Amino acid sequence: MDALNGQFSHFLQQNLRSLRRRFNLSQEELAQKVGLNRGNIASYENGTAEPKICNLLKLSHIFGISVVDLTQRDLGEENSINEAIENQTYFSRHEWELFRLHLEHSDELQEFIKSIYACYQFKAKNMSEIPRDMQFLMSSFDQLHDAALTLLSHYQELIDLLKSKVAKPAHPHTPANTQPESL
């Protein structure tokens, strides 16, 4: 409800100014990074205008904090800024280990499905006459194989998406050991 009472603008104004200074950016430099002009940034900092949501997202990405922290949290203190940055998207060692295990498991699953299907195709090719009930089983196996490949493809897309989100260069203020040496 604070956002409805004007707190939204208050925190946004002071947070933009604090973060911009913390990152040693002029209004002009920040405006270029967001794709705006200097006057837009000045207006946001003075409270005479509020950014569109797409620009809020860009600003939060530039500073490595959430939109919620940017707009609804007082980041005036140095440790508040550090906490907001650290809380954004960094993983614990345990989470990195789980992520690495999922990557390995994905590769193993792909190889397993390939080898089972290759074995199936070899056996099917070498059968001279296929009984009717076996044809049904073979058709079911083909459908199961297609479903497994589809699921594996979706699983891989999720892993790739996560990898692209976490494998980006470390934020300038990222604490040590929050990103893996390699994925």
User: Interior CA angle at 14 toward 9 and 18, to 5°?
Assistant: 150
Amino acid at 91: F
CB neighbour list of residue 53: distance below 8 Å, 6 or more residues apart: none
Query: In the numeric block, which tokens belong to residue 149?
Result: 């490949």
Look up tokens 């860009």; give the residue. Answer: 58
pLDDT at 78: 62
Query: In the numeric block, which tokens belong to residue 119?
Result: 């074995």
CA pair distance 41, 30, nearest whole angstrom: 8
Inform me whether the pLDDT recorded for 174 exceeds 50. Answer: no
User: Interior CA angle at 26 toward 64 and 30, to 5°?
Assistant: 45
Q: What percent of the chain has pLDDT over 70?
A: 73
Return the CATH number of 2-87, one of 2.60.120.10, 3.40.50.300, 1.10.1780.10, 1.10.260.40.
Answer: 1.10.260.40
Q: Which residue has the higher pLDDT, 126 or 27?
A: 27
Query: In the numeric block, which tokens belong to residue 141?
Result: 């196996």
Which pLDDT tens digit goes with each residue over 61-82? 888 887 888 888 787 766 666 6
Compute the average pLDDT of residues 4-24: 76
pLDDT at 5: 46
Q: Which residue has the higher pLDDT, 180 or 54?
A: 54
pLDDT at 131: 83
Length of the chain: 183
pLDDT at 54: 85
Q: List the domain boundaries for the chain.
A: 2-87, 93-166
pLDDT at 103: 79
DSSP state of 22: H
Inform me whether the pLDDT recorded for 161 exceeds 80. Answer: no
pTM for the full model?
A: 0.45
